[in-house]
Amino acid sequence: MNISRGSEWRQWDLHVHTASSYDYKYKGIDSDELLVKSWRDNGIEAVAITDHFKIDSNRIKRLRELAGNDIIIFPGVEFRTDKGSTNLHVISIFPESVDLALLDSSFEAIMINDKAVAKESNDTIYWDYRDIVEFTQKRNGVLSIHTGDKANGLDKEINNKTLFKMAIKTEYANTVSIYEVSNLSNIEEHKAKVFPQIGVKPIIICSDNHEPRNYERKEKLWIKADRTFDGLIQVINDPEERVFVGEIPPKEDIANKRKSVYIESVKIKKDKDAKNLDSNWFNVDMPLNNGLTVVIGNKGSGKSAFADVLGHLCESNSMEEASFLHQDRFRKGPQKYADDYSGQITWLDGEKSKELKLSANVNETTVQYAQYLPQKFIERVCTDLERDFQNEINKVIFSYVDTTVKGDAKNLEELISFQSHPYNARIQAIHDEIFELNSNIITLETRLTSQYKTSISDNLKKAQEMLDRHLKTIPEEVKKPESKLSPEDQVKLDECETQIKNLQQLIELNRTELTTINSDIGTLTNSITDIDELVNSIKTLNTNLIELKNKYFNEEIELVIKYDTPKGIIQTRIESLLKRKTDIIEILSDSDEVSKSLNKALKEQLSIKKSIVDTADAAEKAYQKYLEDLKQWESTKAALLGNALSPNTVNYYKAELDKIENEYPTKYLSLRESRLKKVKEILEEKRKIVDIHADVYLPIEKELIELLSGMTEKVDFKAAVVLTDKNIGSSLLNHVNHTYTGIFNRTDKAYVVMNKFLRDTDFSDEDSVIAFISNVMKVVDDDIDRSSGVIKDKARFYELLFNLDYIGVEFNLNYSGRDLIELSPGERGIVLLIFYLALNKGEEPIIIDQPEDNLDNESVFKKLVPCIKAAKKRRQVVIVTHNPNIAIACDAEQVIHCEIDKIRNEITYSSGSIENKIIRQKIIDVLEGTKPAFELRSKKYIF
């Protein structure tokens, strides 16, 4: 059985000389041993031997013996050519499986004895470039070329001054597969200026080693592929995904720092006390890649079984909608196969999950360690647009709200509620605070449920677990090396580090102050609202007192309430805070146009530091890397610990549990009071809440514009005041006694009349809403004497009608200019997956079972593939699929193939990379319908 983790990031060096090169600096008897030791010391796992003008098969064999299986060695050779120059160097690299002796002898016979020019000396020998290309291609090799600032390179030797010279460069670009440069700035220049003209190619920095005792690399070359020539070919096919030059690839760095949320492997085995002895459904210990793992197989081969088991072991909250681990399938009696098997997750930090039977029920309140989207889950969410779909979208939108704005809010609904408080407060005051109190009561009731308390307790447990595990990952200390920088650079570096530290502290202090200011402004604004409403009440009372005076007192009596308020003082304080807020926002601006921007100053200092550190030796770089990692470790520790106001942290959950026990019950009881109504003012305040929605959606709208720039279909938001409670008519009629005569007499007639009232109402129009209320109030107004008999609970009836809870602000998510209700199931699925994959900021693994269902191949390629590629940059992704676009176009790091033997009741798995020949054949057979079928389609497409 073939089991591997697939394409992984490893350090390669594709330009290495040995003592067989004429200009090698050390040719001692131990030169090969020293060279292999240097590779091991530098963590290099694949190299290309590229001696000048020579393929020394004996030396390469010797190096392979010394390296063993730890290091893969590709044979190669460095040429000199005169095409367009007098001394341009190109390198041929050949497969590791090539017959070394034959390659050596062929090179000697053809390239040295026959094709070489001026071969009398190593200083003069060169070749016609066409001969180099022909020799390389006939032996299935690839060519790399020096370019950028690298000596004897394309840009050094051939300028762009004439069309002739540029034509020569174009010919090189058409035959060369890999570009080798000498520094990072060359890489950026090629990406910005060269590749848009010739297409993207792998661009690398190598050691060009000539001295095994002093093996140096300016930068580390990372390649994500199997250590095979097939792996190198995949790199050439997809260079942007598979090549990184620098200290560590970003995704690898993310995984190393957050090992607790990456799955190392999943183990599924048969229990010793299994009852069904004639079956062996699972016996696998499968490693998982940190990037994208695609699970393939023929229909009914166990693809969904793997996804279900993985979701189950990660205690996903969506297991009720699993297909394989369903009560009617693997758990079904009398066999109840699920009782016979258990599984366990090993995380990248070495921690193991509890061993879990496949028949165990996962509590929906349990904290899930991975997000699992079974087919049925996606179908259900896409069907229930008003609740499930909206909730899932809201979760993602909320993750884009800046932390200084979120405050104490735990979700989008709470954030909108908080930001709407000034308007809601006015609404509540207009109706004797009914609306505000109802909103807060609902929120508190939610927080007082046992489910909420269990959720907080579980979250606290997980947060504490994450903190404990993080404490174990403190970076290994790197002692400060003796500086090899010049005194001037050292002074600059010290000053720069001091500036960076001071700027970072200032930025954090300003963000903290901004958070406090936002909260204070809200609190003070609410106070002014309360004062205004109190003043309005007093004014109303004074109006009534005037009537009392006119009726019961003489004109000399002054019957009025006199009052004074601190509104002016509070308003002055608000204005002061707003001015300070404006100053802080300017200070924290990312714009380069803001002269006093701290972030701009920080970028400048970081750039200065980088330019100094880039010139430092490896030890200093390692020390600087350690300092940065330690700082990030401390930052993560502080973030995990948090405080009472920072969601998803240890101290936050502790504080929340304390509130559940000691604060919320008292607060809940204090909010229960009577209510009154003023409908027009409520509608006006609700229209103001529409603007709040627009501000909240703005950050994610910007992200959507960037993400979907290549798609013709767009996703956008539109907020409006609408009827949000479609059952308000039934709720009102539940309080009406239909035996009485009137507009709602008889149940059947009552519902017809109420539904007509609702249909005729435009709930964004004030007059239309007033007309609706007037129509409904006829049940009371037509016979006020009998109204108490007609209305079984007047208080509840009036509350339902006049507090306007059935009218709310709702956003319409539009896709390609259409409301969600107008979209096909496939189009809704695309929208949902855009949010789940590309926009969701969750760190935990995401597992999806056949997301391409209901999608055509073009939609998969143009819409789903970009989302998957965006997701795998940030988190671990596992997808079950039968669509080749997902495996190939997404450049899956790992492919797991499933096969089922229904006679023996056994599912077997194999895994590896796309470049693995065995896996590649399975991809062709399963996803392309076998190679002959694929080739036949290819021939058909010609026409």
Domain boundaries, the chain: 9-246, 272-370+844-941, 726-804
Residues 6+ apart with CB under 8 A from 458: 365, 366, 367
Query: Tokens in use for 5?
Result: 């983790």
Helix 487-552, helix 421-430: angle, nearest 10: 10
Residues comprising the chain, all counted: 943
Instruction: Identify the three-state secondary structure at position 898.
Output: strand
Could you write out the DSSP letters of every residue in 720-740? EEEE--TTHHHHHHTTB-TTS
Question: How far out from the chain centre does Cα 834 lie?
Answer: 11
Instruction: Identify the three-state secondary structure at position 767.
Output: helix
Q: How far apart are CA 898 and CA 917, in angstroms?
A: 16
Question: How far out from the chain centre does Cα 247 lie?
Answer: 22
Question: Nearest CA to 157 among 101, 84, 108, 66?
Answer: 84
Contact (Cβ atoms closer than 8 angstroms) between residue 719 and residue 811: yes
Q: What is the DSSP letter of 107?
A: I
3-state SS, 633-684, equals: HHHHHHHHHCCCCCCCCHHHHHHHHHHHHHCHHHHHHHCCCCCCCCHHHHHH
Backbone angles phi, psi at 97, to 5 degrees: -90, 0
Question: What CA–CA distances, in Å, run from 869 to 393, 438, 889?
Answer: 20, 44, 9
Per-residue pLDDT, 407: 76
Query: Do the domains spanning 9-246 and 272-370+844-941 agree at the CATH topology level?
Result: no
Per-residue pLDDT, 930: 66
Q: How far apart are CA 836 and CA 848, in angstroms?
A: 10
Question: Nearest CA to 139 among 175, 73, 91, 92?
Answer: 92
Backbone angles phi, psi at 877, to 5 degrees: -125, 130
**What residues in the chain have per-residue pLDDT under 50?**
672, 674-676, 940
Using a pLDDT cut of 90, give the percent of the chain over it.
Answer: 37
- Indicate if the alpha-carbon torsion angle 594, 596, 599, 600 is positive or negative: positive
Give Rg (Cα) of the chain.
35
- Beta-carbon neighbour count of residue 561 at 10 Å? 10
In degrees, rounded to 5, the angle at the alpha carbon of residue 169 between the alpha carbons of residues 168 and 171 is 65
Residues 6+ apart with CB under 8 A from 781: none
Q: How far apart are CA 542 and CA 63, in angstroms?
A: 100
In degrees, rounded to 5, the angle at the alpha carbon of residue 835 between the alpha carbons of residues 833 and 841 is 125
Question: Nearest CA to 148 among 117, 99, 186, 113?
Answer: 186
Q: How far apart are CA 414 and CA 423, in angstroms?
A: 14
Q: Does domain 9-246 have CATH number 3.20.20.140?
A: yes
Instruction: Identify the three-state secondary structure at position 108.
Output: helix
Q: How far apart are CA 8 and CA 223, in angstroms?
A: 8
250: amino acid identity, one letter? P
Helices (H) and strands (E) in the chain, counts: 38, 22
- Indicate if the alpha-carbon torsion angle 143, 147, 150, 155 is positive or negative: positive
Query: Tokens in use for 840?
Result: 């969701």
Residues 6+ apart with CB under 8 A from 793: 735
3-state SS, 370-418, equals: CEEECHHHHHHHHHCHHHHHHHHHHHHHHHCCCHHHHCCCCCHHHHHHH
Residues 6+ apart with CB under 8 A from 112: 53, 119
Helix 618-641, helix 450-471: angle, nearest 10: 160
Q: Identify the bridge partners of residue 767 per DSSP, sorted by sequence position.
A: none
Question: How far out from the chain centre does Cα 147 lie?
Answer: 35
Contact (Cβ atoms closer than 8 angstroms) between residue 304 and residue 880: yes
Q: How far apart are CA 386 and CA 218, in angstroms?
A: 56
Question: What CA–CA distances, in Å, run from 442 to 448, 457, 688?
Answer: 10, 21, 22
Per-residue pLDDT, 436: 63
Query: Tokens in use for 160?
Result: 């762009």
CA dihedral 350, 354, 355, 359 (to 10 degrees): -140
Contact (Cβ atoms closer than 8 angstroms) between residue 182 and residue 145: no
Query: Tokens in use for 636?
Result: 């993560």
Cis? peptide before 487, omega within 30° of 0: no
In degrees, rounded to 5, the angle at the alpha carbon of residue 451 between the alpha carbons of residues 446 and 457 is 110
User: What's the pTM value of the predicted model, to 2 decimals?
Assistant: 0.68
Q: Return the residue matching tokens 């954090």.
A: 508
Per-residue pLDDT, 812: 67
Q: How far apart are CA 77 and CA 16, in angstroms?
A: 10
Query: Tokens in use for 219?
Result: 């930068």
Alpha carbons within 13 A on the beta-carbon side of 772:
27
Instruction: Identify the three-state secondary structure at position 560.
Output: coil
Please report the beta strands in 94-164, taking only residues with DSSP state E, as ranges in sequence order: 142-146
460: amino acid identity, one letter? L
Question: What CA–CA distances, in Å, run from 108 to 24, 53, 104, 116, 168?
Answer: 20, 9, 6, 10, 28
Helix 421-430, helix 434-447: angle, nearest 10: 120
Per-residue pLDDT, 236: 94
Cβ burial 182-197 (10 Å sphere, 16+ → b, else e): bbeebbebbeeebbee
Per-residue pLDDT, 534: 86
Query: Tokens in use for 153?
Result: 């390179």
Alpha carbons within 13 A on the beta-carbon side of 459:
21
Q: How far apart are CA 683 and CA 685, in angstroms?
A: 5
Q: How far apart are CA 580 and CA 873, in angstroms?
A: 38
Q: Return the residue matching tokens 């194999």.
A: 910
Query: Tokens in use for 682?
Result: 């409520």
Instruction: Identify the three-state secondary structure at position 304.
Output: helix
* pLDDT per residue as tens digits for the range 541-563: 888 888 888 888 877 788 889 88
Contact (Cβ atoms closer than 8 angstroms) between residue 851 and residue 829: yes
Query: H or E element: which one contains 180?
Result: strand 178-180
Contact (Cβ atoms closer than 8 angstroms) between residue 650 and residue 468: no
CATH code of the domain occupying 272-370+844-941: 3.40.50.300
Question: Nearest CA to 317 among 454, 431, 175?
Answer: 454
Query: Tokens in use for 601?
Result: 């100053």
